[in-house]
Amino acid sequence: MKTLNTVIIIIIFVSFLGCTEEFLVEPNLITEDQAYPDVISNNTAPTADYIDLADDGFQALVFYDSIMGVDGIASLSNGSLLVVQEWGNPGKCVFHIEKGHSFNINDAFSTIGNPFISPDDIIVNTDGTVYVADGQAQTVFKISKYGGAPVPLVTPLNTRASFNPYGLAIAPANYDGPNVDPGDIIIADNAYGTIEKAVWAVNPITGVTKIIAEGNVFTDGPILVDFALDGTLFVNQNTDSGSGRIVTLSANGTVSPFYGPIYTNPALAVNPITNEVFFKGANGAIYRIPLTGGTPQLFASNIGEFQDIAFNAQGTALYLCDRTKNQIIEITAISAIWENDIR
């Protein structure tokens, strides 16, 4: 039954896209006059009623519908998103999407397919440059803020043969150490499960890489990374069997336990207002835990299979990619911003 349902979904989706020649369109380049222009839309996002929220002060909306295989999500200041498609139709690609819309091939922000193989995470730097980690391609790519073709920034040539990048973050001003500078791109390197697993810092201009921590200091392979306001770097580690833990990594390379074990594939985001750490739990659930640690509190459940979670810069919206429904979901407070819900 599962196989039949999958075939039906793919048939419907391909029918919606139309002929395969559409896949050859140029990416939707943002104009030189204004990168990421303000989004003006009269579309209303429907409620995602199937998601159960532990707090009735929040609501879940379908931000974008009918998109397959999304992994990484990055929020833009104008209210739109950049998302990276790991698998499905039309192919491996970054899309620039707007709230209340459904999939459109013209939302392509990067070229489709090569050099991407299986892109996993995406971030946007302060200058608008986009970075994508592709574990199977063993490469961190960069893309102009205007869109276009991905260009390699970090490869095994400037790291090592086991390089397997999954998660990305940007070092803030208060994260400065012997092998990392503010503004560096932080890379979670799973190293294909070998002892060479590491967290790297790379200068986004020169491409020079340095290791912050590596090897046996990590019980499991680093998969995802995110910063709190005080400069604490959280690392979500994971094993091939689907269990993992969250640790912190200081700028001098010290690893400290934070929470675990977690018996599911990882998803991690820190709310920039409340400083709470949000992570994926078993059975399609999201939990949150204070920066100081403690007992996780259920935030949302019944989501199905989902991947990356990400906040906007204001900390007022949490985004996730629901692969069961082929939707991008936005969770927001109904009548107050997140800072009024600090726990």
157-163 long-range contacts, CB within 8 A, separation 24+: 158/207, 158/208, 158/209, 159/189, 159/200, 159/209, 160/196, 162/189, 162/191, 162/192, 162/194, 162/196, 163/138, 163/189, 163/191
With respect to residue 26, please indicate whether it lies within any of the assigned structural domains.
no
The residue among 107, 97, 137 whose CA lies nearest residue 119 is 137
Asked if residue 313 belongs to a domain, the reply is yes
- Output the six-digit token pair for 136: 């199977």
| Residue 329 belongs to some domain of the structure | yes
Classify residue 54: in a domain, yes or no. Answer: yes
- Domain residues for 257? 45-341
What is the C-alpha to C-alpha distance for residues 64 and 98, in angstroms, rounded to an integer?
A: 7
Domain for residue 223, yes or no?
yes
> In the block, which residue shows the tokens 């998302």?
83
263 occurs within a structural domain = yes
Number of domains in the chain: 1
The answer, yes or no, to whether residue 70 has pLDDT greater than 80, is yes
User: Is residue 222 in some structural domain?
Assistant: yes
Q: Is residue 1 part of a domain?
A: no
pLDDT tens digit string along 18-64?
333 233 344 555 444 445 455 444 457 899 999 999 999 999 999 99
CATH number of the domain bearing residue 103: 2.120.10.30
pLDDT tens digits, one per residue of 128-180: 999 999 999 999 999 999 999 999 999 999 999 999 999 999 999 999 999 99
pTM here is 0.87
